[in-house]
Structure 1
Amino acid sequence: MAAAAGFWAWQRYTGFADRPLSSLQPDTTLLVERGDSLPVVLRKLRAVGVGEGHQAEWRVLARELGAAGRLQVGEYALSPDMSPRDILIAMRDGRVVRYAFTILPGRNIRELRTALAKADPLRQEAADLDDAALMAALGHPGQHPEGRFLPETYHYTRGDSDLDLLRRAYAAMDKALDEAWAARDPASVLKTPDEMLILASIVEKETGIAGERAQIAGVFERRLAAGMKLQTDPTVIYGLGAAYDGNIRRRDLQTDTPYNTYTRSGLPPTPIAMPGVDALQAVARPADGDALYFVAVGDGSGRHVFSRTLAEHNAAVARYVQRYRQARAAERAAAQAQSTGTGPEAP
């Protein structure tokens, strides 16, 4: 009778340990908080749909798996195909739900902070801090935040804060910048890693074509070496701040700000965006050549025409303006045809 009872208990235990918890709803999550004991976690499991009973089996299973007293803090995803064994192993090993946040190359600090404020379930600790207070909270008082956070995807868990994520992004940028600076061309005109970061941010904003970054970096390097103004529109736009409405006008190019590289020589005082690793590497090793100018092709590809002389550049600009006007005229004609019902899709 004792052997039969033992066999029955073992069957009951193994059946419990490995049977899927079909009472769970899909996409259920459970939060294990600091200080939660096994009985507390079991109460939370019952609250999300795990049936009553089997308390002894849960405890025995937890001891068998070495999970008792070792449940890790975090948010766990539960599903109907998971067994009690699966759940306890996940909690023992800390297989928590991970979320992703991506810093896009070329995003400025204002855009980055707006995106962080919408990231859920990231805890918001920086929302009420201005940029100076933000950098102080990150341990870098007095430093401008622009360009200091490396564009890439960062994973976080429930309970992490925006400051936690920014600390990691700052450290990643520090590492990437150090590596780029160590690999730089010895003949570079750049004097400090900060100058490299500033120029990389301009290169990042000037092109989304990977193959052009080193060429554009070469143009800016040669212009700096020759004492020429950079004359790059993204710096002017950055200087306009919230006043920029999507169009850059001649008066904007002529209005002096610390970031207007049409009115001021050299680099702007800070980066103008978050440069990616590719932009840093392009500035570290700019392409050889003699081009001093570039302008968009104007065919929608995002490519640029590079010129050695001002005359060649002016001709390329004239072609760009012509293409731009033709494209706008075609858009207006198409819109007019659609509104009057004479277009190709009209009945």
Structure 2
Amino acid sequence: MADDMQEFFQDKVQWVADGQAPVSAMPPRPPRSRREMRRRRERRKHRKQIMTIIIALAVVLATSCVVILVGGLRHGAPRIVATKEVAPDYPGPGGQPLEFTVESGQGADQVGANLVKAGVVKSTAAFLQAISSAQSESRLLPGTFDLRLRMKASDVVAILTDRSKAGGFLQVRAGERVRDVVARAAQLSGVPQSEFDALIQAKGEDILPQEAQGNFEGWLQPGEYDVRKAGSAKAILGNLVSKRIEHLDQLGVPGGQERQTILNTASITEAEVNKSEYYSKVARVIENRLAKGMPLGMDSTVAYSNNVSALKLTDAMLKNANDPYNTRVHQGLPPGPIGSPGDEAIQAVMHPESGDWLYFVTVNMDTGETRFSDNPDQFNRDVKEYKAWESQHNEQGK
């Protein structure tokens, strides 16, 4: 009983500072019995448990509110009230046919606005939503497409991302020869081949820069061009040449005769390389051989003059001393470029990798593995390895 009473008074005692009166002049009434004391302790314990639960619930509720508020600030609105607005769209399939052109370099916003203006789609927003919903590898292609008035936006996107449905655009690839580019340009544009031939025979007068020496080879910029609207061979070739000059300026290629020499060397590098990692090494081999007065010995130059692939060269072609492009016989660079080199080849010629290599051989045409050396004996061993691969390849092809 004494212990219980002591606990009771310890719970009820009120401490005051010096000079202050106690809150109550009367001491608390002692409990009548031990049972009453137990009931009081149980009530206090119960109240403490309830308060603990209430505080915990309050913390949880406050935390939830903060999470919802932060989520709303990050995403513009809380998830529970977020809705996706459906952009105005035609049901399709469409009405009157029309031709629509996507220019090279146009963005989705601009194409969408042009589609709305042409009456093909109902809103730019619907077009952009359709692009967003399309496959990740889909992209808008330049070209002239057959569409209809009042089409469903998703149907339009399916057409504008299908290369087989893009017409009127000429694609110039790195390493291509002028004769091949001109043939496709004439076919796509409807401009007679004879009009292109006349410009080539006139040595590109009023089109080519002086350092090109009247030769279009190497001066056609790789890329995609709308040739159906050009109207003439001069407009088409003039555009390709002006784009080339503009791009060479952007790459920092020196002008004048040095520019022509870089294009010439880069065109050979482009033709001889089968992997990006080899560009700067092949460029170094060419530079080293020129510095030593050695013939370049590049099959690609002979293949160009005979208008065949390197795999179809004959011994007679490789020994023909009357061919000015035969770098097996003649020292130095050929009379001009042998194709339109891309950026990697041009950069490699301006910044070749350091090395003493004088030879390179692609020993496996399947993997593209190429060996570089400065030793004639190693070169001969590499050639034998290639011949073995070629023999095995030919046997399997029978």
Scaled to the shorter chain, the TM-score interval is: 0.5 to 0.7
1:235 aligns with 2:313: no
CA change 1:76–1:293 in 2 (3 A) is: closer
Of 207, 226, 250, 2:315 maps to 250
CA change 1:251–1:23 in 2 (3 A) is: closer
1:129 aligns with 2:198: yes
Instruction: Tell me by how many angstroms 1:321 deviates.
Output: 0.4
Aligned residue number for residue 344 of structure 2: 278
Of 233, 243, 246, 1:175 maps to 246
Aligned residue number for residue 318 of structure 1: 384
Residues 292-326 of structure 1: CA distance to partner in whole angstroms, max 9, x if unpaired? 10011224123311112111100000011011101
Contact persistence 1:156–1:165 (CA under 8 A): yes
Of 139, 150, 153, 1:81 maps to 150
Aligned residue number for residue 303 of structure 1: 369
CA change 1:113–1:324 in 2 (3 A) is: same
1:144 aligns with 2:209: no
Question: What is the alpha-carbon distance in structure 2 between the residues aligned to residue 181 and residue 319 of structure 1?
Answer: 40
Aligned residue number for residue 47 of structure 2: none
Residues 312-345 of structure 1: CA distance to partner in whole angstroms, max 9, x if unpaired? 100000011011101211222xxxxxxxxxxxxx
CA change 1:124–1:163 in 2 (3 A) is: farther
What is the one-letter code of the residue matched to 1:247? K
* TM-score, with structure 2 as normaliser: 0.56
Question: What is the alpha-carbon distance in structure 2 between the residues aligned to residue 283 and residue 145 of structure 1?
Answer: 20
Contact persistence 2:267–2:339 (CA under 8 A): yes
Residues 143-183 of structure 1: CA distance to partner in whole angstroms, max 9, x if unpaired? 11111111122245635444323222212222333455548
1:29 aligns with 2:99: yes
Question: What is the alpha-carbon distance in structure 2 between the residues aligned to residue 81 and residue 273 of structure 1?
Answer: 45
Question: What is the alpha-carbon distance in structure 2 between the residues aligned to residue 226 and residue 26 of structure 1?
Answer: 68
Question: What is the alpha-carbon distance in structure 1 between the residues aligned to residue 261 and residue 223 of structure 2?
Answer: 22
Alignment of 1:184-199 (within 5 A): 192-199=258-265
Alignment of 1:31-110 (within 5 A): 79-81=148-150, 99-110=168-179
Contact persistence 1:214–1:286 (CA under 8 A): yes
What is the one-letter code of the residue matched to 1:119? L
Question: What is the alpha-carbon distance in structure 2 between the residues aligned to residue 124 and residue 258 of structure 1?
Answer: 27
Of 166, 175, 180, 2:237 maps to 166
Question: What is the alpha-carbon distance in structure 2 between the residues aligned to residue 329 and residue 30 of structure 1?
Answer: 51
Q: Which moved more, 1:157-166 or 1:110-119?
A: 157-166
Question: What is the alpha-carbon distance in structure 2 between the residues aligned to residue 159 and residue 193 of structure 1?
Answer: 28
Instruction: Tell me by how many angstroms 1:117 deviates.
Output: 1.4
| Rg larger for | 2
Q: Which runs of no fewer than 5 residues in structure 1 stay unpaired?
A: 1-17, 32-74, 84-96, 185-189, 333-347
Aligned residue number for residue 64 of structure 2: none
What is the one-letter code of the residue matched to 2:237? L
Question: What is the alpha-carbon distance in structure 1 between the residues aligned to residue 337 and residue 241 of structure 2?
Answer: 14
Contact persistence 2:371–2:382 (CA under 8 A): yes
Q: Which moved more, 1:155-164 or 1:270-279?
A: 155-164
Question: What is the alpha-carbon distance in structure 2 between the residues aligned to residue 21 and residue 179 of structure 1?
Answer: 46
Q: Which runs of no fewer than 5 residues in structure 2 stay unpaired?
A: 1-87, 102-143, 153-165
Contact persistence 2:299–2:310 (CA under 8 A): no
Contact persistence 1:214–1:283 (CA under 8 A): yes
Aligned residue number for residue 4 of structure 1: none
Contact persistence 2:145–2:167 (CA under 8 A): no
Question: What is the alpha-carbon distance in structure 2 between the residues aligned to residue 29 and residue 76 of structure 1?
Answer: 6
Question: What is the alpha-carbon distance in structure 1 between the residues aligned to residue 285 and residue 310 of structure 2?
Answer: 28
What is the one-letter code of the residue matched to 1:215? K
Question: What is the alpha-carbon distance in structure 2 between the residues aligned to residue 249 and residue 77 of structure 1?
Answer: 47
Instruction: Tell me by how many angstroms 1:122 deviates.
Output: 6.5
CA change 1:295–1:81 in 2 (3 A) is: same
| Aligned alpha-carbon RMSD (Å) | 3.7
Question: What is the alpha-carbon distance in structure 2 between the residues aligned to residue 285 and residue 245 of structure 1?
Answer: 26
* TM-score, with structure 1 as normaliser: 0.63
Q: Percent identity?
A: 26
Question: What is the alpha-carbon distance in structure 2 between the residues aligned to residue 284 and residue 146 of structure 1?
Answer: 19
Aligned with 1:113: secondary structure? helix
Contact persistence 2:93–2:150 (CA under 8 A): no
CA change 1:123–1:80 in 2 (3 A) is: farther
Aligned with 2:306: secondary structure? helix
Question: What is the alpha-carbon distance in structure 1 between the residues aligned to residue 273 and residue 313 of structure 2?
Answer: 17
Larger RCO (alpha carbons 8 Å, 6+ apart): 1
What is the one-letter code of the residue matched to 1:129? A
